[in-house]
Chain A
Amino acid sequence: MTGDKLWLRGRREVRWMGIFRDSPALHFYLMQAVVFSYMAFRLLSRSYEAYGNLPDEFFDFPRRYVVELWPIPAMYFTSFQFIYEVLPRPAPEVIFGLQLTAVGACLLGLAGIVPRFCAVVAFLIGTHLTGFIQATNADVDGGGLALCLLLVLALSPERSYYSLKNGWSLERRSVDYHWPVFLFWTVVGAFYTCSGLNKMIDVGPHWPFVLHLENLAQWAIEKSLFISSHYSQPLVASFHLSPHLSLFAGMVSFIGELGFITILFLPRYRLFFVLSMVGLHYLVLNLAGINFLGNSALLLLCVDWNALVRKIEIRYDEDEPFWQTWAPRIKRLDWFGRVSLKSRTNSTGLAGFEPESIRGTCVAQDENGEIYAGIDVLEQVATRCPMLLLFSLAMKIPGLIYLIRPIMNRSRRKARVTKAGKEGP
């Protein structure tokens, strides 16, 4: 591969996350800890006992605005509601017991005690309880993504978990830590992208222009004066009375939802998509009084946490003033030993880059074999050095890197011209 092609490869935006990559365990451990914590928190906060008081005729899957095409919804089977064809409906005390069992499973799973079995138990009970809600009004209660993650964990190998049996280690590498992350991201990406597609289908591609969030904000403030009304936060609503802000919010939400599936191959924009959806859920709670806020914890699992622990090897030009200053600093700031820094003249090439082609710049290759060049190398370094994390986050601002790259390129060309001038014709 020529130098220019390598250079472009080092700066590309499209980087497929892969399915069967040897990956560190950190991300999977976080998925395990977050979902068990979140599910326990939900089940300890909400009582489903009221559904034990409802007569049988209320569980008849009334149609609502979730457009159902089938006379018998799939959830009749997938949430095991069909068992009540032969069994009596559970009393409130039984539902209380089910909730406590699920909470116990979540806490055991969080502690690493038979976590896979606990994921299965928590998933089955959580889905069944959700089935009560859906059977009485065919709606959701905001726990879908958590149940999906529990299902992913339940289908993951036992050896992937942190547990009393496996222990834990951030040094291990295995494909069994990676493909569950891929599966979870695919499910979350499909969910939000389908929501964006639903807006196009139900309303049209002009959805941001007819959203009129300012109407909802006005309504929310008016409703907030009455104690019996749905929750709304009038302070938040008062900032959204502008139709222009509604259009902006609608565009961000629309792009964020439609593009969410791209978290699988656009790593730089993951944080944008995640934060846009967190913002969406925050506004939906404070303006419309519908709570999906807990999904934010799961959305934060859609950024690449393993980047914090993946090792990276760098070749830099020691003649560059920038690297003369920053190479020793980076070595000091690399508290966890993730960054291997070598000057171009004191080492062989890296990932197809010959030492001469690294003049005036820097290149890097991480454990996944991903190549980075120029400012992208600094972004990867900053991801692994806690004191430089803000720089890494800043590079995730859409478009900012396109302003900074020309500056770095000018520096590289200048170094080449200077070298050519010194060496003569």
Chain B
Amino acid sequence: MAQLARRPLACPPSYRIWDYVGLAIANTVILLAILGFRRHLHVLCSRWISWLHLPNHRGPRRLIFAASIWLILSFQLRLLCGFYFPGIHGWHYNNLMSSITQELPDGIVLGESVDEPFLAGGILPENARYLPKTGYLTSGVMFLHFRGGEVLPGNYELTEIVFPQYIFGQLYEEIIEPELFFDVVRRSIDRRRQNRKFLLPLSIAYPNHMPYNPLPHDQFPPGAELEAVSLWDLTIHVNAERQVEVVAAHEKNRIYDR
């Protein structure tokens, strides 16, 4: 069997020691419950096994018995079986903070590169009306550069990979595997130009597991003309009328197909 070595992750995991401590506490509670209710559990298990040995419907009985054992074990042992896993882990947003600032963030140069005509394509100003407060917002944006001079917005939906940061690196910071990236994105662009997502029209296709905002697919040139991808930090300002203005744009990286 080949070594299943853990390569250094481009995006390190976010789990904490508490994930294991929590599991240890839960297993301790389960163990105490088993010890405390052992007589009842003994009766239950005896009935369960007796049910298994009833003479009718033997095949389905064995199947259901095996499935119940497997469900318990997969939770207890945290088995990721491919077609089943023991439930989504616990999550919360207690530490998720708003990104809007009233002052221009540190390190942002007001007016930097704002003359680039394609930057406006990276924002969706119609959504500003839902913002509860005004101020400055900064986020990573990707642009696709084509041989004919077109520069269009892009995102990782084009890779058709779930959690692409584990393949290509931190989102909108770098692209670790550029040749691979261009291969998959070109194929995706060619499909989306035809208004297709794989074999179904975009309008009715089932979204990806981690969908991104819709792109202007009808404007895409052929995928073969894609020659570069640029990654930017775009800073916008939203005023009281919920109008959006690009106030700074910093190009962090430009990757060319080799």
Contacts and interface: CB of A to CB of B under 8 A. Distances in A.
Interface string A334-371: 00000000000000000000000000000000000000
B80 A225 contact: no
A326 to B, nearest CB: 41
Contact of B90 (A74, A79, A200): A200
A296 to B, nearest CB: 12
Nearest to B72: A190
Interface in A288-320: 289-291, 293-294
Contacts of B166: 62, 136-137
A176 B63 CA distance: 13
A13 interface: no
Q: Please tell me the size bucket of the interface on A.
A: 35 or more
Contacts of B140: 226, 228
Interface in B135-172: 137, 139-142, 153-156, 159-163, 166-167, 172
B124 interface: yes
B92 A65 contact: no
Given A183-B67, A201-B25, A291 B212 contact: no
A178 to B, nearest CB: 10
Contact of A66 (B83, B85, B96, B124): B85
A215 B97 contact: yes
Interface stretch (A48-56, A113-121, A399-407): A48-56
Q: Please tell me the size bucket of the interface on B.
A: 35 or more
A44 B198 contact: yes
Contacts of A212: 92-94, 96
**Dominant SS among interface residues on chain A:** helix
Given A57-B7, A60-B7, A225-B244, A50 B160 contact: yes
Contacts of B14: 65
Nearest to B131: A221
Interface string B126-137: 011011100001
A191 B87 contact: yes
A197 interface: yes
A142 interface: yes
B87 A197 contact: yes
Given A50-B160, A63-B6, A142-B209, A190 B122 contact: no
Contacts of A190: 71, 75
B57 interface: yes
Interface of A: 19-20, 41-42, 44-51, 53-55, 57-58, 60-76, 78-79, 82, 85, 92, 103, 123, 126-127, 130-131, 133-134, 136-142, 144, 147-148, 151, 155, 175-176, 179, 182-183, 186-187, 190-203, 207, 210-213, 215-216, 218-219, 221-231, 234-235, 237-238, 241, 285, 289-291, 293-294
Given A47-B188, A229-B139, 16 more contacts: A42-B206, A47-B160, A50-B159, A67-B19, A79-B83, A136-B167, A137-B167, A144-B84, A182-B64, A201-B23, A201-B90, A221-B132, A224-B130, A225-B139, A230-B211, A291-B209
